[in-house]
Structure 1
Amino acid sequence: MDLKEVVLKNICYTDLVYQRINKKLGISLSKTDIESLIYRTILDNYVTISKIGKNFYIKNPNNHIQVTVNSNTYRVITVDKIKGINYD
């Protein structure tokens, strides 16, 4: 099993992270929609996963977002827009 499959199998969320993701991305999605967005983001063929310290940084240039996941618990910490991308 590769790292992407391990992350997808074990990924989990806290109630607070849903609010954080909506705020940081400037969206208003339900918990189910956020989970679907993150799943599709990680599943994409162009995604890169790097481990720095205790976190995985999962970058998806197609969705223009980076998902930060704790490498021990696989808990989503946050989602950020990739800098240098125009979202208009």
Structure 2
Amino acid sequence: MIPANDIFLKNICYTPLVFERFNKKLGTKLDNDEIKQLVNKIISDPRTTIIKQGKNYYLKNKDIELVINSYNYRLITANKN
């Protein structure tokens, strides 16, 4: 496991499609700014665990898992835990 740090907050990036995928996978109707705020909250939470597996990071919080590309820090998707 990798300790949570600011590298994710500084480098996280998004594609237009990931916002749609985020809402679809989690069953929400958040706008882009709300999704970004939620992602930042998950990254900043000291209870979030970060595991690097292959080319992705998996950031697991109590309710949501974020999948982030380890090369460019692009959010790929979110899953319910």
Normalising to structure 1: TM-score of the pair?
0.86
Structure 2, unpaired ranges of 5+: none
User: Counterpart of 1:80 in structure 2: which amino acid?
Assistant: N
Alignment partners' CA distance in 2, 1:71 and 1:33: 23
Structure 1, 3-12 or 36-45: larger mean CA deviation: 3-12
Alignment partners' CA distance in 2, 1:32 and 1:78: 16
Q: CA RMSD in A?
A: 1.0
Deviation >2 Å, runs of 4+? none
Residue 45 (structure 1) shift: 1.1
- Structure with the greater relative contact order (CA < 8 A, sep ≥ 6): 1 or 2? 2
1:11-42 CA-to-partner distances (Å, cap 9, x unmatched) read 00000000000000000000000000000011
Partner of 2:5: 4
Greater Cα radius of gyration, structure 1 or 2:
1
1:38-57 CA-to-partner distances (Å, cap 9, x unmatched) read 00011001000000000000
Alignment partners' CA distance in 2, 1:50 and 1:19: 25
Matched residue count: 79
1:4-83 matched pairs, under 5 angstroms: 4-61=5-62, 64-82=63-81
Query: Taking every aligned residue pair, what percent have the same amino acid on both sides?
Result: 47
Normalising to structure 2: TM-score of the pair?
0.94
- SS state at 2:71 partner: coil
